[in-house]
Structure 1
Amino acid sequence: MQFETTDQLIQFLDDEGVRFHKVGVFDIDGVFRGKYLDRDKFESSLRKGFGFCDVVLGWDSHDQLYDNATVSGWHTGYRDAPAKLDLGTVRKLPFEDDTVLVLGHFAGDYEGVCPRRLLHRCVDKAAAMGFGVRAALEYEFFVFQESPESVRSKGFRGLTPLTPGMFGYSMLRSGVHAELYHELLETMDAFECPIEGLHTETGPGVIEAALHHDEARAAADKAALFKTYAKVLCQRMGLMATFMAKWSNEYPGQSGHIHISLEDPKTGDNLFTGADDGTPELMRWFIGGQVTLMPQLLAMVCSTVNAYRRLVPGMWAPTHANWGVENRTTAIRAIPGGKGSRSEYRVAPADANPYLALGAALASGLWGIENHIEPPAAIEGSAYDDPGADAVPLPGTLSEATRLFKGSKVARDLFGDAFVDHFAATREWEDRQARKHVSDWDLARYFEII
C-alpha cells in the first residue's frame, strides 16, 4: 500500500480499525530491527520522524558492540539517531491481525551509513543518467524440522532437514509439503512480496523462491522482508529456515542472485533489449562495470566469513570476475533478448544484505556505462575449467575483500568515505571474531597429529 500523505494513512488506520503499529529499519547486516509504537507515537513519527538508538549501527548480528567504529559507540553515548518512515512501504502484517508495518531509514548524520539510503542514492544516480531501474532477487534457503532451541541444544550439528536426499524441482516433495508451499505463496502475496517461482533445489530440505521484479528500491524492500518473514512463517509452523551462505560441507551453498535491467523511465521499455544472440552496447558497458569492479566491491555482497566457503569450483558459484551469455558458471550471466533482458549477478549469496548487494551491483554497472567499459570476452563452456585469460580471481576471504574495498578509490567515489570507513570497520570486526574461534576442523586437523 502506498499513501501520498500521512493524513491518508491515518484515515486508512481509522477505516480499517488498525490497533497495532510496527516500525523497523535494516541494519548493516540486513537484520530487521524494530518495535511497536502506540497510536500517538506512531502518528508523531510519521509526521516528524523518530529517534532510533544508534547502537543498531554499532553492533554486529549477535548484538556484540564494535570496538572499532566511529559512527556509534560509547563515545556517542549511544544516542538516538534520527530516522524517517517511508509512506510507500506500509503493509498489513501477516500473522498479526489489525497490525501495520512501516519501514524506515536513518537520516541526518547517520544517512551516509544507512544501507537502505545507500541503495536509494544509487537509484537516484541512475535517474539522473536517464534510467529507471528494475530488479528482482531470488533466494535459496534450507528448511529443517527444528526450532531455535533445538538447533542450539544440538550445537547446530545433526539437524533434521525438512526432506531427505537430493531432489531438485521435485513435484513429490512439494506435493507432500504443499501446506508449506501454499503458505509461503499466500503469505508473501498478501504481504506485497509476491513470489514468481517456488520449487525445491538440490539438497535436503532446500527451497528456491524467485521474487517478482519491481522498481529497484521496492525490490530490495521486498527481498529484505521476504528473508525475515519466511523465517517467521517457518518457525510458526514448527520449522526453521536458514539463509546462511553455506551451512554444510556436503551441499552447494545458498545463492541470492540479483537480476537488474535498465528501462526508459517514460515508456518503461527495457534498454537492455537487443538481438537474441547478442547484447546491446548499453548492456555490455553495464556488465563491463560489474565485472571490473566486482573484486573491489565484493565485501558489500559477500559480507560474512561464511560467504567465502561458497565461492569454490563446482558449487554453482563463481570463482573469478567474469561473464557469459546464459552461462551459470560465471559471476555475471547475461540474459539477452526480449522484454526480460537483464544482468544476473550470480556471485551474491543468500545471506547478503539486499540493499548493499543490489547497490553494489547497480552502482558498478552505472560506472561501467559512464566510462564505456567493455567487458572481457564472454566465457563459453565451464568457467571453472577456463575462467578467461583476463579474469581476475575473486578474493578468497572476507579479510582480503575488505582490504580491497577499504582501499578502493572507486568505492569511495560511489558510496562516500563515511560508508566505506564504517562498513570496512564492521567487516574487519567480523573477520576478527572468526579468527578468534577454534573450529571443529581445527581440532580434528591438529589436536593429535601435529
Structure 2
Amino acid sequence: MDPRHVRTAADARAIVEHRGLDHVKIGVFDIDGIMRGKYMARDKFFAALESGFGFCDVVLGWDSNDQLYDNVKVTGWHTAYPDAMVRILPETCRAVPFEGDMLLFLAEFTGEAEAVCPRGVLRRVLKRAADMGYKVEAAAEFEFFMFEETPHSVRAKSYRDLKNVTPGFFGYSMLRNSVHAEFYKELLDLGAGMDFPIESLHTETGPGVIEAAIVHDEALAAADKAALFKTFTKIMAQRRGWMATFMAKWSPDWPGQSGHLHMSLSAGDGGSVFFDAAAPHTMSDTMRWFVGGQQHLMPELLSMIACTVNSYTRLIPGFWAPTEANWGVENRTCALRIISGSPKSQRIEYRIAAADINPYIALACAIGSGLWGIEHRLDPGDPVPGNAYAMAFPPERGLPRTLSEAAGRLLESAAARDLFGDAFVDHYAATRDWEEREFRKAVTDWELARYFEII
C-alpha cells in the first residue's frame, strides 16, 4: 500500500502490518513549529489509533530551547506537567526514505490542550471558512541558507565565520544548481516521496541561499507539507554534513529569508470566489474584503506571523520585506501581493511572512483575518502603485517593531479572540512575551563592540 493512500485507522494498521514494522514514528508540532515526537511500538500504535495516547504537555509549556515558560496557564509546575491527549492522524502517513520501511504519522492535541494546539487553531479557522461556504487552498514558499557546517561546528564557532555552501550573488543560477545537482535531486525526491512535492526550486541572491515553492493543497494539508518541508530539509542537510537555516535573517549583510504564503478561496462547486472577470484586476468583492481584513488586522496579529525576536530584523525598508500593512497588484514591495489572472491562478501572496513561521499559526492568521474581512465587508482601499517603501501610510497601517509590542497588540485584539479563542490568544501571547524576555538576557556582539571600551 502506498502511504499516500492511507486514510483510516484500518488502513494505518494494514500498512504497518504489510511492512512488518515493530515501531513507527509519531510527531506533533509545537508552538514554535518544531516537530516533537517518538518511536512508538506497534501494539501501542494500534491501540492509540482507536483511543489516542498521552503525550507530556511540556511540549506546550517550553520554548524552542526546551526552557520552561513561567507565564502560561495551560501547563507548568502548577499543573505538574501531566499528559495531554493526542490523536493520531492516519491520513498524514508518510514513508521516511532514509529509514528503510519506516513510517511517520502526524498527530495533534485533543481535549483541553486542543485550544492551544497549532494544528487545532488552523482547523478551527478552516471550519469557520467551511461554515461560510468556502474551501481554502494554500501553498508556502521558503528561502533558506545552506552551510558546510554541522551542529557541533557552528557552536564551536559561536555562529560566526560560517562557511556557506556556495559564495557570491547567484540568483536563479544554472551554474550553481548544476554543480550541486545531486543535492537538488535529493531534495526534490524527498519532497515527492514524503508528500510535500516541490513545484520550483532555485538559487536566490546570496551565498548558499535557495528558494523552494511547495505545491498547493487544501490549507490544512498545505500546512502539514510546509512544516514537514522545513523539518526534513534540515534533517537531509545534516545527514550530508551540511546545515540549513530558516531564520528570518541570519546575517546583517544579506536580505532576510521569506516564507511567503499563497491562498485562494473557492465555493462549494469548486469555482473561485476571488475571480471576477468584469472587476478591476479581476478581483471580486469577496477578494477585496478578504484583503481588507488581512490589511486591517495585520498590525494586531503580527506576532502570529513575525514570531521570533529575529523576525523584526527583517522588517526594514529596501530588503524585500514589507514594513507597513498595505497591498498592491503584482507589487513585491507590499505586504499583500495580488496575483490576478484566471480563476485558477487568482490568489493572494501574504508577503509579510518569513521562513521562521510556524505554518499552522501563520496560515490561521492569514486566512482568519481574511475571513473576518469578508464578514465585516472591509474594503482595502486602492492598491499601492510603485515603491511602497517610498510612500507614507496612515499610522494605523504601521506594524509593531518588536515581538513584545506585537504580543501586546495580540492580547488586546477582540478580533483575534473571536477568530482563535481566548485560550490560544492568552497562551500564544505569553509565549512571545517570554521569547522577548529571554532575548533581553543576552549581551550581543553589537553591544560589546559599541560600549565595552568607550562608555
TM-score interval (norm. to shorter)? over 0.9
Residue of 324, 330, 345 corresponding to 1:340: 345
1:126-137 equivalence runs, <5 A: 126-137=129-140
Q: Does 1:236 align with 2:225?
A: no
What residue number does 1:359 align with? 364
Distance 2:402 2:256 in 1: 16
How large is the Cα RMSD of the aligned pairs?
1.1
2:286 equivalent to 1:282: yes
- 1:397 matched residue in structure 2: 402
**TM-aligned CA deviation for residue 387 of structure 1:** 4.6
How many residue pairs match? The answer is 449
Which residue type is aligned with residue 114 of structure 2? E
C-alpha distance in structure 1 between counterparts of 2:39 and 2:371, whole Å = 38
CA deviation profile, 1:342-375 (whole Å, cap 9, x unmatched) = 0110000100100000000000000000110000
Output the CA distance in 2 between the equivalents of 1:281 and 1:407: 29
Give 1:203 shift.
0.7
TM-score, normalization: structure 1?
0.98
Contact 2:275 2:282 in 1 (8 A): no
Contact (CA 8 Å) 2:8, 2:91: kept in 1 or not?
A: no
Mapped partners of 2:381, 2:303: distance in 1: 22
Q: Does 1:412 align with 2:412?
A: no
Contact 1:84 1:104 in 2 (8 A): yes
- Say if 2:54 is the partner of 1:39: no
Q: Report sequence identity in percent.
A: 58
Q: Which of the residues 81, 97, 101 maps onto 1:98?
A: 101
- 1:110-125 to 2 correspondences below 5 Å: 110-125=113-128
* Aligned partner of 2:426 among 408, 411, 421: 421
> Do the aligned partners of residues 167 and 378 (structure 1) sit closer, same or farther apart at CA in structure 2, a change above 3 Å counting?
same
8 Å CA contact retained: 2:33, 2:357: yes
- Report the counterpart of residue 291 of structure 1 in structure 2: 295
2:222 corresponds to which of 211, 219, 235: 219
CA–CA distance in 2 between the matches of 1:5 and 1:154? 48
Unaligned runs of 5+ residues in structure 1 are: none
Partner of 1:447: 452
- Aligned partners of 1:82 and 1:107 also within 8 Å: yes
CA separation in 2, counterparts of 1:114 and 1:428? 18
- Write the distance in 1 (CA, Å) between the matches of 2:384 and 2:145: 31
Aligned equivalent of 1:12 = 15
| Cα deviations by residue, 1:272-325 (Å, 9 ceiling, x for unpaired) | 123373411111100000000000000001110000000000000000000000
Q: CA deviation at 1:20?
A: 3.0
Distance 1:397 1:136 in 2: 27
Listed one character per residue, the Cα deviations across residues 39-93 of structure 1 (whole Å, up to 9, x for unaligned) are: 1011111111000001000100000011111111111111100110111101111
Change in Cα spacing, 1:382 to 1:391, as seen in structure 2 (3 Å) is: farther
Partner of residue 156, structure 1? 159
Correspondent of 1:375 among 361, 374, 380: 380
Distance 2:447 2:360 in 1: 35
Q: How does 1:258-269 map to 2 (within 5 A)?
A: 258-266=261-269, 268-269=270-271
Letter in 1 for 2:13: I
Corresponding residue number in structure 2 for 1:272:
274
Q: Using the alignment, how far apart are the partners of 2:357 and 2:7 within structure 1?
A: 31
TM-score (norm 2): 0.97
Letter of the 1:405 counterpart: L
How far residue 245 of structure 1 moved from its aligned partner, in angstroms, is 0.4
The answer on whether the counterparts of 2:316 and 2:322 sit within 8 Å (CA) in structure 1 is yes
Q: Secondary structure at the match of 1:241?
A: strand
The answer for the alignment partner of 1:206 in structure 2 is 209
CA shift at 1:391, angstroms? Answer: 6.2
* Contact 1:332/1:347 (8 A) holds in 2: yes
**Separation in 2 of the partners of 1:373 and 1:295?**
15
The reply on whether 1:52 has 2:55 as its aligned counterpart is: yes
* Aligned-partner Cα distance in 2 for 1:377–1:273: 17
Contact in 2 for aligned 1:19/1:98 (Cα 8 Å): no
Q: Which one of 140, 145, 148 corresponds to residue 148 of structure 2?
A: 145
| In structure 2, C-alpha distance between the alignment counterparts of 1:186 and 1:2, rounded to whole Å | 18
Describe the SS at the equivalent of 1:44: helix
Tell me the SS of whatever aligns to 2:281.
coil
CA distance in 2, matches of 1:325, 1:148: 42
Cα deviation for residue 390 of structure 1 reads 6.8
Distance in 2 separating the partners of 1:265 and 1:51: 37
Name which of 350, 355, 380 aligns with 1:350: 355
Q: Secondary structure at the match of 1:168?
A: coil
Rounded to whole Å, the distance in 2 between the matches of 1:30 and 1:359 is 13
- Alpha-carbon deviation of 1:2? 4.3
AA matched with 1:423: Y
Gaps of 5+ in 2: none
* CA offsets 1:407-443 (integer angstroms, 9 cap, x no match): 1111111111101111111011000011111100111
1:445 to partner: Cα distance = 1.1
Deviation digits for residues 151-197 of structure 1 (CA, Å, limit 9, x no counterpart): 00000000000100011100000010001100000111010110000
SS in 2 for 1:321: coil
For residue 436 of structure 2, the aligned residue among 427, 431, 438 is 431
Go from structure 1 to structure 2 and tell me whether the alpha carbon gap of 1:217 and 1:2 turns closer, same or farther (over 3 Å shift).
Answer: farther
Is 2:262 aligned against 1:246?
no
Q: Deviations over 1:116-138 (max 9, x none)?
A: 00000111110000000000000
Name the counterpart of 1:182.
185
Greater displacement, 326-335 / 5-14: 5-14
C-alpha distance in structure 2 between counterparts of 1:234 and 1:316, whole Å: 26
- Which amino acid in structure 1 is aligned with residue 23 of structure 2? F
- What does residue 325 of structure 2 align with? 321
Partner Cα distance (2:126, 2:281) in 1: 29
